[in-house]
Chain A
Amino acid sequence: MAPLIEARDLTKKYGSHVALDRANLKVEAGRIVGLIGPNGAGKTSALRAILGLTHYEGHLTVLGREPFRERTALMNECCFIADVAVLPSWLRVDNAIDFVAGVHPRFRRDRATAFLAKTQITGKRRMRELSKGMKTQVHLALTMAIDAKLLVLDEPTLGLDILARRAFYDALVNDYMDETRTILITTHQVEEVENLLTDIIFIDKGRIVLDTSLEDVATRFTAVAVTADRLDAARAEKPFYERHILGKVVLYFENTDAGKLERFGEIHTPSVSDLFVAKLSGGAA
């Protein structure tokens, strides 16, 4: 099966600033992919290109379509939440449902109303009267009621408190995700999505630094906590990153035989956040 999203040499320039620099990435169907990068790394530019919101250079297909030219058709099968604060303040909840039901062929009103029935939100309320957490619920209700193949979330929980964040991700995983759907999430808060992702893509300075599934992370990356006396020997195996904590040094290796590393100390698979820091802190040792 062809990948759901495929980008080759995707480039986006704003004047002389290069937001995306010949980025390559692939997203397969049925995955939950985190597009992770520091602020200004090009995450949003990548998403804008994928969603057809901006012009770009290079090759890009999403669900077999060219996003910029075919945004309207693409939005039949793909939906996105770009920060939940974007529902217009004057819009009433019931009107929002009417509108989406009116223009979206794959919207299932009963699902949206069932989702909202579980909340305290009533139809006559305007967005401006709702708290940020409630707006999130409205946006989720609208989005989850759409039978979309691809859901794109851009920093979806920005500005939400911890309860609302948790509720957002729980709803996403429990009520929405199944094998026919694919989710692409951008965030700079790695810890928050770590447990739900199946794939990670790291982006930095407009380039893709890493694109891998979490299963592969375990075989590909190894972290070793090394004591001072074995440090030089371990360094000879060429770690790509070193971290000093409490008198110990944790060395990060890529594609190095774990058996060989065991003799330097305790080995473990790095968490996504550790890997993120390790990969993006630049240069080895």
Chain B
Amino acid sequence: MNNSNWLIRREFWENRAIWMIPAAFGGLLLLAALFTQVSIPRLTTTQASEEAAAAFWVVVGGMFYLVMGVYSTWYLLDCLYTDRRDRSILFWKSLPVSDITTVLCKLLVAMVIIPLVYFAAANLTALIAAFILSIRARASIGSSLWNGNVWGQVQVLWLYVIVTTAVWYLPIAGWLMLVSAWAKRAVMLWAVLPPLLLYILERVFFGTHMVGQIISRRLTALPAVSFNGSKYNWTHEGGVVDNAGSAAPSVWHLINPSGFFTSAETWIGVAVGIVLIVAAIQLRMRRSEI
């Protein structure tokens, strides 16, 4: 436990981009909020105002999510490779820290800690941007993007997305780590090439495209599996009134945890992910510098 603590700190020392990229991206969004043309229509009804607020928060969160996706992919590909390339693995391995702990900490950083950093950055950015936009649009606070109810629900939404993303993309993360632990060079190429080759071979020899389907479904189907399709557009057309009696669109009807966590697809992915991660740990034990 103590070692994990230090290993996670270590990742922050090495990868300052973990917080610098979201900080810079947030700064950029705030500049946009300050200097671009905005016209927020005066929203008269609570419902319209909440919808506008929800849309705003979801868009900000979505942008951070995309940036995080790109960075995390890079991080996972790099995390078991760089120290082999610069031979510093020989220093890390001279310390009484097991390879299992090392690999699992890096996985934890990619799947939980980086998302939480982005979660904090997105929140901070959105709050400040909402403040700036409200003032610029001369909207009164009450009817603007500051909306406690919406904010609370967005928190639930984002945390739900963080959890489901970590679970759903575990096989992808495992594959990236395996490549990172294995490749002697060109990690990016090795991450893409084998699946691509499998895809082509399957097309040529069997005329089918199972591999392509499996991979593209894994990459794109998370929203479909983790949300209730009909309410995905964040409206309350279903007319559901939540417990508090508010007419606000409720995140609780949007998310579909029972569906997600009972889906066989989810757990097959987790199983594949675990196999790949175990393989990455085994490689980590056997390989030192390149």
**Residues of A participating in the B interface, judged by any CB pair closer than 8 Å:** 48, 51, 53-55, 68, 71-76, 79-83, 85-92, 95, 98-100, 102-105, 139
CB <8 Å contact, A54 and B286: yes
CB <8 Å contact, A75 and B96: yes
Mark B87-118 against chain A: 1 for CB-CB distance below 8 A, else 0.
11111011111110000000000000000000
- Starting from the known contacts A71-B93, A88-B83, 10 additional A-B residue pairs (CB-CB under 8 Å) come to A71-B98, A72-B97, A72-B98, A86-B289, A88-B91, A89-B88, A92-B13, A103-B3, A104-B95, A139-B91
Residues of B within 8 A of A139 (CB): 91
CB <8 Å contact, B94 and A82: yes
Closest to A81 in B: B94
Cα(A51)–Cα(B10), bound, Å: 23
Asked whether any CB of chain A lies closer than 8 Å to the CB of B19, the reply is no
Query: Taking each of A74, A80, A92, which has the highest tally of chain B beta carbons within 10 Å of its own beta carbon?
Result: A80
Minimum CB–CB distance from A135 to chain B (whole Å) comes to 11
14 A-B pairs in the complex with CB atoms less than 8 angstroms apart:
A51-B94, A53-B90, A72-B98, A75-B93, A75-B94, A76-B96, A82-B90, A83-B87, A83-B90, A88-B91, A89-B86, A90-B14, A102-B2, A103-B6
CB <8 Å contact, B97 and A87: no
Minimum CB–CB distance from B19 to chain A (whole Å) comes to 15
CB <8 Å contact, A79 and B94: yes
| Given A48-B288, A86-B88, A87-B88, A95:B93 Cβ within 8 A | no
Minimum CB–CB distance from B116 to chain A (whole Å) comes to 22
**Residues of B participating in the A interface, judged by any CB pair closer than 8 Å:** 2-3, 5-7, 9-10, 13-14, 83, 86-91, 93-99, 285-286, 288-289
Residues of B within 8 A of A89 (CB): 86, 88
Cα(A146)–Cα(B190), bound, Å: 39
Minimum CB–CB distance from B11 to chain A (whole Å) comes to 11
Residues of B within 8 A of A98 (CB): 6
Residues of A within 8 A of B99 (CB): 71
Cα(A92)–Cα(B96), bound, Å: 20
Minimum CB–CB distance from B6 to chain A (whole Å) comes to 4
CB <8 Å contact, B5 and A73: no
Cα(A95)–Cα(B91), bound, Å: 14
Closest to B2 in A: A102
Residues of B within 8 A of A91 (CB): 13-14, 88
Residues of B within 8 A of A75 (CB): 93-97
CB <8 Å contact, B6 and A102: yes
Residues of A within 8 A of B288 (CB): 48, 53-54
Minimum CB–CB distance from A159 to chain B (whole Å) comes to 12
Minimum CB–CB distance from B20 to chain A (whole Å) comes to 13
Minimum CB–CB distance from A148 to chain B (whole Å) comes to 10
Closest to A89 in B: B86
Closest to B82 in A: A88
The one of B86, B90, B97, B285 in contact with A103, judged by C-beta atoms closer than 8 angstroms, is B97
Query: Taking each of B83, B86, B95, B288, which has the highest tally of chain A beta carbons within 10 Å of its own beta carbon?
Result: B95
Minimum CB–CB distance from A153 to chain B (whole Å) comes to 11
Cα(A91)–Cα(B88), bound, Å: 10
Residues of A within 8 A of B5 (CB): 102
Residues of A within 8 A of B83 (CB): 88
Residues of B within 8 A of A92 (CB): 13
CB <8 Å contact, A103 and B93: no
Query: Taking each of B88, B98, B289, which has the highest tally of chain A beta carbons within 10 Å of its own beta carbon?
Result: B88
Residues of A within 8 A of B90 (CB): 53, 80, 82-83, 86
The one of A72, A88, A90, A99 in contact with B96, judged by C-beta atoms closer than 8 angstroms, is A72
Minimum CB–CB distance from B17 to chain A (whole Å) comes to 11
Residues of A within 8 A of B7 (CB): 103
CB <8 Å contact, B14 and A86: no
Closest 5 CB pairs of A and B: A88-B88, A75-B96, A102-B6, A82-B90, A72-B98
Residues of A within 8 A of B6 (CB): 98-99, 102-103
Cα(A39)–Cα(B147), bound, Å: 70
Minimum CB–CB distance from B205 to chain A (whole Å) comes to 30
Residues of B within 8 A of A88 (CB): 14, 83, 86, 88, 91
Residues of B within 8 A of A53 (CB): 90, 93, 288
Minimum CB–CB distance from A81 to chain B (whole Å) comes to 7
CB <8 Å contact, A103 and B94: no
